[in-house]
A and B are shown apart, each in its own frame.
Chain A
Amino acid sequence: MTALEDRLRNELSELAALAQPESIRPLRDSAPRRRSVRARFLAPVAAMAAVAAVAIASAVIASKLPHPGAPVPSAPEMVHTNTVPRFYVLAEQSFVDGGRTMVTKAAVHSSATGDTLSQATLPTLLSNGGYYSPSITAAANDRTFVVMETNLTSSNSIVWLFRLQLSASGRSIKVTRLPVHVPSTMAIDNVALSPDGSRLAMTTQWDCGQSRCQDAGIRVVNLATGAVTTWSTHANGAPFNGSWVGANAVAFEWQPNTGRGTGYRVLPLSKAPADLLTASQPIASPRAVSTGYVPAALVTPDGKNVITSEVVPFTHLFVVHGATARIVELNARTGRLERVLYTASANGQSDMLVQSCNVLSLGPDGQHPLVDCFSKLGALVNGQIVSMPGFPSASSSGISGQQAIAW
């Protein structure tokens, strides 16, 4: 064992020893359903937000997250709904039948009013003790979405993919399980649907069949034919956070094993499959805010800009005491700052703070980032985060590991 491993073991043991049998809190009554102390405090706020989330008349989307005693932010400028995606989809895992049955529901909401226009219950993989969480990605035509369900068991992973095809009004939804085979030894970080909805890009890792050997790459699946094209690499690292750049390129975050040199790259799909790193080119990347962690970034459909967040923590003796965040638009080629889209700050002693401001989705035209930043989930409109009408739902105080949202 190395000195580093020894030190890590010792520090973790010291930290864990702070929880002693006589000092830790006993379990509390579990009915009604209890949340964390802070989340419980926020539950009424979330409920109010769900009820009061302002749904704007037919032509506008603008709302705010009310909080008793908090200053009411000024309303963002009105935005005509024809400039924002008409629908957003919320996929949510929940229990029914007294907790005996787990279901995943996908609901189509009007972006303007929050109304649930249609919903579907997806076939659900049994948890069997593994992780289980849905993830979702949206096509750029505003009418097609893909939901990925993953069940990781002790020996393998099972992935199901569903395509949700909306009618023009959004009031009917056709669900199709995609015939995409994912090997059980393959782990998928995320999937991204091409702008025309015909192809799916996956950032993946898989065992290469030998001890201490792990391959990684981008798989692009033609959803009409099932044909798979893979750009893989043996290099020590893996791609994450894939997204489409126009119709013929995929952007991804490359994370090397060393934690150094993390950055975004663009893979042109017109090139023949080759080594992932050879075939792709680096682009402007968000600044790493901590070891090995780079905020999510999405490239606009024209490939010219990168929308990402920059979080700067305030630390003292390695402890985070707060942070400021900016959501920015960078020039993809030069990395130059083009625009600051949003700024926020937060206080709190948590290392997680630096990972709490992210761009989730850009919308079909790349102009309407859906973001989750320091407690606020919503659309970025004129420098403010506008709550999504209809979200948070009454059952949640924010997006959770059992929820996924996209537009």
Chain B
Amino acid sequence: MDRSGEPDDLAPLTSALRRGEGRADAGVSVAELFRAHHLELVRLALVMVGDVATAEDVVQDCFERLHRRWNVIREPGRALAYARSSVLNGCRSVHRRSAISRRYGPKLAQAADASVPDAASAMADRGQLAAALRQLPRRQREVLVLRYYADLSVAEIVETLGISAGSVRAYMSRGLAALAAVIGEEK
């Protein structure tokens, strides 16, 4: 713990927050959200992108965005739903950014201790459905992850993704059908 009584891992963020004048409320609220939901959000990103390091990056960006945008979020009570949206949105961006990083793979591999296999990749070896899920169209993937990983109701998915209940059901149905096709193909 640092002198302010905050967990050590919050200190960097909160110190940055303190530098922003007039943003104490944002700092406090984001810090509360971090305490309660950081792990949950990293796990959400992990099942979307498939590796821990990228998931951590996505969530880091999410909290930075939350801090910067706190003043324009009209309903702070919905911050968790916003954070989930932000993480899913970030996972979409990873799709493009990762393409750039791959171009420089060998150098990055040396820098990032690539000698240790990513546990998520190892997991994917036996997680056939989870791997297939990441190849589904974006919306189907998001809806299935929110439903079957995050255990959100249709109404909560509606709030998180900002799409209609009918769309949620449609994406869920299509996604499951696509996964069933994968299983069928492999049998």
Complex Cα distance A155/B115, Å?
A: 47
Cβ of A67 and Cβ of B104 under 8 Å apart?
yes
Tell me whether B9 and A16 are in contact (CB under 8 A): no
Report chain A residues within 8 Å CB of B103: 67, 346, 374-376
Of A20, A291, A374, A402, the most chain B CB neighbours within 10 A belong to A291
Q: Is B164 in contact with A12, judged by CB distance below 8 angstroms?
A: no
Contact A257 B13 (CB under 8 A): no
CA distance A19 to B120 in the complex (A): 9
Contact assessment for A400 and B96 in the assembled complex, using a CB-CB cutoff below 8 Å: yes
Q: Mostly helix, strand, loop or mixed at chain B's interface?
A: helix
CB pair A4 B169 closer than 8 Å: no
Q: What is the number of contacts between chain A and chain B, taking CB atoms within 8 Å?
A: 312
Q: Please give the distance in Å from A61's CB to the nearest CB on chain B.
A: 22
Q: Which residue of A lies closest to B114 (CB)?
A: A349
CA distance A320 to B145 in the complex (A): 20
Distance of A385 Cα from B178 Cα, bound (Å): 34
Considering only residues 119-146 of chain B, those with a C-beta below 8 Å from chain A are: 119-121, 123-125, 127-137, 140, 144-145
Residues in B neighbouring A99, C-beta threshold 8 A: 67-69, 71
Residues 38-50 of chain B, each 1 if its beta carbon lies under 8 Å from chain A, else 0: 1100111011011
- Contact present for B125 and A317 (CB under 8 Å): yes
Interchain CB contact under 8 A, A36 and B94: yes
- Whether A258 sits at the interface, judged by CB under 8 Å, is yes
Shortest CB distance B153–A (Å): 13
Question: What interface size band does chain A fall in?
Answer: 35 or more
Q: Which residues of B contact A351 (CB under 8 A)?
A: 50, 131, 134-135
A interface SS class: loop
B20, B97, B137: the one within 8 Å of A397 (CB): B97
Do B13 and A27 touch (CB < 8 A)? yes
Nearest neighbor of B53 in chain A, beta-carbon distance:
A37
Q: B149 contacts A16, CB within 8 Å?
A: yes
Cross-chain contact B74 with A348 (CB below 8 angstroms): no
Complex Cα spacing A121 to B16, Å = 30
Asked whether B36 is an interface residue with its Cβ less than 8 Å from the other chain, the reply is no
A398: chain B residues at CB < 8 Å are 96-97, 99-100
B29 CB–A CB distance under 8 Å: no
A100, B119: Cα distance in complex, Å: 39
- The CA of A7 and the CA of B179, in the complex, are separated in Å by 11
User: Is A71 an interface residue when CB atoms closer than 8 A count as contact?
Assistant: no
Chain B residue at minimal CB-CB distance from A126? B72
- A350-B102 contact, Cβ under 8 Å, with A12-B148, A37-B57, A129-B74: yes
The verdict on A27 contacting B10 (CB below 8 Å), with A152-B161, A346-B99 known, is yes
Bound-complex Cα distance A25 to B51 (A): 13
Contacts of B164 in A (CB 8 A): 185, 187, 207
> Is the CB–CB distance between B163 and A318 below 8 Å?
no
A207 to B158 Cα, complex, angstroms: 13
In the complex, which residues of chain A have a beta carbon less than 8 angstroms from the beta carbon of B179? 4, 8, 291
Give the chain B neighbours of A179 by CB distance below 8 A: none
Once bound together, how far apart are the Cα atoms of A291 and B175, in whole Å? 10
CB distance from B130 to the nearest CB of A (A): 4
**From A68, which residue of chain B is reached at the shortest CB distance?**
B107
A42 within 8 A of B: yes
Measured CA separation A13–B131 after assembly (Å): 13
Task: Evaluate contact between B67 and A400: CB separation under 8 angstroms.
Answer: no
Chain B residue with Cβ nearest A316: B125
- Which positions 70-97 of chain A face chain B at CB distance < 8 Å? 70, 95
Q: In the complex where A27-B63, A30-B64, A319-B121 touch, is A293 in contact with B136 (Cβ < 8 A)?
A: yes
Q: B46–A15 contact, CB under 8 A?
A: yes
Question: Is B108's CB under 8 angstroms from A30's CB?
Answer: no
Task: Indicate whether A141 reaches chain B with its CB closer than 8 angstroms.
Answer: no
Could you tell me if A187 and B167 are in contact, using CB atoms closer than 8 angstroms? yes
A379–B75 alpha-carbon span in the complex (Å): 43
A374/B34 in contact, CB under 8 A: no
- Report the bound CA distance from A11 to B130 in whole Å: 6
A41→B169 contact, CB < 8 A: no
A37/B112 contact (C-beta < 8 A), A8-B129, A30-B13 known: yes
The 9 closest A-B pairs by CB, nearest first: A26-B9, A152-B162, A38-B101, A259-B178, A99-B68, A290-B135, A375-B103, A16-B43, A36-B57
**9 A–B contacts from the bound complex (CB under 8 Å):** A19-B46, A27-B63, A128-B74, A128-B75, A131-B85, A154-B158, A291-B179, A317-B124, A349-B118
B-side residues, CB < 8 A to A, are 8-10, 12-13, 15-16, 19-20, 34, 38-39, 42-44, 46-47, 49-58, 60-61, 63-64, 67-69, 71-75, 78, 81-82, 85, 89, 92-105, 107-108, 111-112, 118-121, 123-125, 127-137, 140, 144-145, 148-149, 158-159, 161-167, 169-170, 173-174, 176-183
- Excluding A39-B100, A207-B166, A401-B96, 4 further A-B contacts by CB distance (< 8 Å) are A4-B176, A38-B98, A185-B164, A353-B102
